[in-house]
Amino acid sequence: MNYVLEMKGISKSFPGVKALQNVNFSVQPGEVHCLIGANGAGKSTLMKILSGVYEKDEGNILLNGKEVNITSPADSKENGIATIYQELSLVEDLSLGENIFLGNYLKPKGGFIKWNQIKYRTNEIFKLLGLSLSPNLLVRDVSMGLKQMTEIAKALASDCRIIVMDEPSTALSGDEVNKLFDAVRLLKNQGYTIIYISHKLDELYTIGDRVTILRNGQWIFTDELKKIKQSELIEYITGRKIEKQTKEQVYNKKEEFLKVNNFTNKKLRDVSFTVGKGETVGLYGLVGSGRTELLRAIYGADKVLNGQVFLDGVKKNITTPEKAVNEGLGLVPENRKTEGIIGNLSIEENAFLPSLNKFSRNRFLQRQKIRKAMLDSIKKLNVKAPGPETELRNLSGGNQQKVIISKWLIHESKLLLFDEPTQGIDIGAKDEIYKIMKELANQGTTIIVASSEIDELLAVCDRVLVMFEGRIVKEYASPANYKSEILNVAVSGA
């Protein structure tokens, strides 16, 4: 078999964790090879070894049959490998062209940058990707989809032949995802090899040729996607069967707990709604519809120019997150790495930040009480970690999300706001988080979920509110009966 890339017997360990154990991974030239697995399976570690971020402990890397030594990102780039990470690495105040050639300004002579050549090369690369836009546009002025395309263009400008895409569709709208797929197909037709990492299984079948599955740091399976059913794929990923989550479609109006009246700010336009005790309400809409901004406004993270919020019939002045926490609110933010966790603190320290007063006496922390509550929480949420003292940044995305949720469980929050709760999380962890949300609602916790995945909302929500351009335009009880209509309203606003 002809392989453009072979990784043989790759092993890598970190303190207390064996991330990869004798993994083999081979890619054929000109294919879209999907690399998947649960959070913590070893996908990112394997690709960071390929990109030179980590050095392997054992194993060999071959390109076109020749062994290479990759010990730095420069080595990876020199060997024609480009990696596009989930967190984009663009400079917002520079132009698209400047970002594409950042650090590689076409080898200036005498200290002069060849701006005309940069513009010409940028246009050529955009043409290759089927794009028609100006290289002079600032990154901050373009959509998330075009930012993703700029990252791809940046990879092409490095003269790569292998492109690693790590969760490239995470923050994209449906139309932007389709454009991304078109670009991937164009690249494939021109001989580029793509390694595509995603938790969205439908994407794999749309764009992928072959798939490799890792689990617990070990190779599990490689085959053509057309030869394997999605249900089988899920079993390979998780090691168990997962039943499709559905929400019982019987809507009973519940006693009101939250009332939002006429919320208005730069993004929101006269938003009013109520949520009952123990009810789960979903917010659905396109990217930019105002879902995130509404949650942030309720939580006091975004300023409200007009409007009131009531909890249990009492008007509250929630103008800061601190006041929100004191009133029993908890937010699981969209960007957990920058807004939800403090990565260099332990699991235990992160989980107890909102509850230090609860677990202290005479200004001294009750360490034994904290440790017991933490161990109970880890067990209940099935957090996979060596122990509570593990730094949170060393956990997978799904386990980080569970720790954020545990923070609000320990605090005994009465209203939980979930913003894209399963973004970048594997199918097994999604299943566990859905079950946690349902259990919380059954215990009387009020929940609002903002998500770009309609099936996610149908799985957990009693009602769905559709947002469009900062307004709530329609409400659906028993939303599973109206999936197509919800999708249409989200696009049209009517």
Map 46-91 to HEC letters: HHHHHCCCCCCCEEEEEECCEEECCCCHHHHHHCCEEEECCCCCCC
Distances from the Cα of 81 to the Cα of 70, 96, 154, 195, angstroms:
10, 21, 12, 10
> Based on the number of CB atoms within 10 Å of its own CB, is 205 exposed (0-12), middle (13-18) or buried (19 or more)?
middle
Does the domain spanning 5-238 belong to CATH 1.10.540.10?
A: no
Mean pLDDT for the stretch of residues 9-27:
89
Q: Identify the weakest region by mean pLDDT among 91-100, 281-290, 337-346, 415-424.
A: 337-346
Instruction: Give the per-residue pLDDT at 193.
Output: 95
* Contact call for residues 283 and 449 (beta carbons, < 8 A): yes
Mean pLDDT score, 89-98:
87
Task: Report pLDDT for 462.
Answer: 92
SS3 85: coil
3-state secondary structure of 291: helix
Q: How confident is the model at residue 49 (pLDDT cuts 50, 70, 90)?
A: very high
How far apart are alpha carbons 420 and 104 in whole angstroms? 36
Least confident among 172-186, 260-274, 443-457: 172-186
**CATH architecture classification, 256-492:** 3-Layer(aba) Sandwich (3.40)
Higher pLDDT, 488 or 438: 438
Q: What are phi and psi of 145, to 5 degrees?
A: -60, -45
φ, ψ of residue 257 to 5 degrees: the values are -115, -45
Please determine, for residue 246, whether its predicted confidence score (pLDDT) is greater than 60: no
Q: How much is the pLDDT for 243?
A: 59
Of the candidates 215, 301, 316, which has an alpha carbon nearest to the alpha carbon of residue 257?
316
Amino acid at 382: N
Residue 493 pLDDT greater than 70, yes or no? yes
Q: What is the pLDDT averaged over residues 458-463? A: 91
pLDDT beyond 80 at 286:
no
Residues in the chain: 494
pLDDT for 250: 57
Is 63 in contact with 180 (CB distance < 8 Å)? no
Q: Which residues pair with 311 in a beta bridge?
A: 258, 314
Whole-number Cα distances in Å, 215 to 41, 397, 424: 5, 15, 16
% pLDDT > 70, the chain: 94
**Cβ atoms < 10 Å from Cβ of 219:** 20
Confirm if 280 and 437 have CB atoms less than 8 A apart.
Answer: yes
pLDDT for the residue 482: 87
The CA distance from 93 to 161, in Å, is 29
Task: Specify whether the CB–CB gap between 139 and 96 falls below 8 A.
Answer: yes
Q: What's the rounded Cα separation, in Å, for the pair 354 and 410?
A: 9
Higher model confidence: residue 402 or residue 20? Answer: 20
Highest mean pLDDT among 287-296, 384-393, 403-412: 287-296
Average pLDDT of the chain? Answer: 85
Cβ neighbours for 211, distance < 8 A, ≥ 6 positions apart: 33, 34, 35, 36, 204, 221, 222, 223, 224, 225, 228, 233
Backbone phi, psi, residue 33, to 5°: -105, 115
CA distance 455 to 322: 33
Q: Give me the pLDDT at residue 147, please.
A: 86
Mean pLDDT for 59-67 is 93
Q: What is the pLDDT of residue 135?
A: 87
pLDDT band at 314 (very low <50, low <70, confident <90, very high): very high
Find all residues with CB under 8 Å of 25, minimum gap 6, and list them.
5, 6, 7, 10, 35, 46, 212, 219, 222
Sheet with 271-276: list strands edge to edge.
Answer: 271-276, 256-264, 306-311, 314-316
Intervals of CATH 3.40.50.300 along the chain:
5-238, 256-492
Q: Where are the alpha helices (DSSP H) in 135-173?
A: 144-157
User: What pLDDT, on a 0 to 100 scale, did the predictor assign at position 373?
Assistant: 76
Query: What digits encode the pLDDT tens for the residues 159-213?
Result: 889 999 988 887 676 777 888 888 889 889 989 999 999 878 888 999 999 999 9
Phi, psi angles (nearest 5°) of residue 334? -65, -45
Q: Which two tokens stand for residue 354?
A: 């909102």
Q: Which carries the bigger pLDDT value, residue 89 or residue 356? A: 89
Give 238's pLDDT tier (boundaries 50, 70, 90). Answer: confident
Neighbours of 78 (CB within 10 A): 14
Stretch among 384-388, 405-409, 415-419 having the lowest mean pLDDT: 384-388
The DSSP secondary-structure symbol of 41 reads S
pLDDT tier, 54 (very low <50, low <70, confident <90, very high otherwise):
very high
Average pLDDT, stretch 7-20? 87
**Sheet of strand 58-63, all strands in order from the earlier edge strand to the far edge:** 17-27, 5-14, 58-63, 66-68
Closest CA to 150 of 121, 120, 187, 122: 122
Q: Which two tokens stand for residue 48?
A: 């960071």
Query: DSSP for 250-282?
Result: ------EEEEEEEEESSS--SEEEEEETT-EEE
